Amino acid sequence: MRIKEGNKEAGILESSIRVFAKFGYHNSRISQIAEDAGIASGSVYLYYKNKEDLLACIFQNVWELLYKEISVLHKRKDLSSIDKIEYLIDLIFDIFSANPPLATVFVNEQIHLKKETSSFVYFYDEFFKIGERIIEDGIKEGALNSNLNVRVFKFFLLGGMKYLLENWANDPKNFQLTTLRQNVKLIIKRGILS
């Protein structure tokens, strides 16, 4: 797919997502990304230093988007904490349902980045801090169980969603995204008891 001159940087990033999803970060080469983008390999280096820089940029974009959305969401007074958690679940599913290869890269490749030197760390940390505040607000409102450990709930929810997204991204025909989304919401809002 040849990319237009003005969209080269974004096109390279989209190509890197497809290539990383298909071959994995370690098995991918800049030449494959360039080929997917329909450009010369040297053109990639005009915008990105190396594969790690590309991967870091992918995660920077995802975590920055999630951080911006959760920041706005947390300030909304018209929504309860349960509504905010549901909105957040929808947001995560929407981002990845729009781009299944991104879901694959997101769940499989973040481990390859050095957290202390990656540009996405600020947004990652702040996203989780605000998420914890939303859960704490839900406990204060009485909407969430007061015995709930905020950190355990946060990791349970996001870890479970990550695992579900990984399975969906690897085999979209076997897992319906709407079913996964509905079941996550059902478990969060009602639990597993009848």
Q: Where are the domains of the chain?
A: 1-48, 52-190
Do 1-48 and 52-190 share a fold?
no
Closest CA to 86 of 187, 194, 168, 10: 187
- Band (pLDDT 50/70/90 cuts) for residue 1 is very low
Q: Give the CATH H-level superfamily of domain 1-48.
A: Homeodomain-like (1.10.10.60)
* Spatial distance between the Cα atoms of 115 and 137, rounded to a whole number of angstroms: 29
pTM: 0.85
CA 31 to chain centre: 26
**pLDDT per position as a tens digit, 15-35:** 999 999 999 999 999 999 999
Say which residue, 99 or 110, is predicted with more confidence: 99
**Sign, Cα dihedral of 11, 9, 12, 42:** positive
Phi (first) and psi of residue 27, to 5 degrees: -90, 0
Distances (CA, A) of 116 to 22, 52, 105: 27, 14, 20
The domain 52-190 having CATH identifier 2.60.40.420: the answer here is no
Token pair 């940390």 is at which residue?
Answer: 125
Instruction: Measure the CA angle with vertex 146, ends 144 and 147; round to 5°.
Output: 115
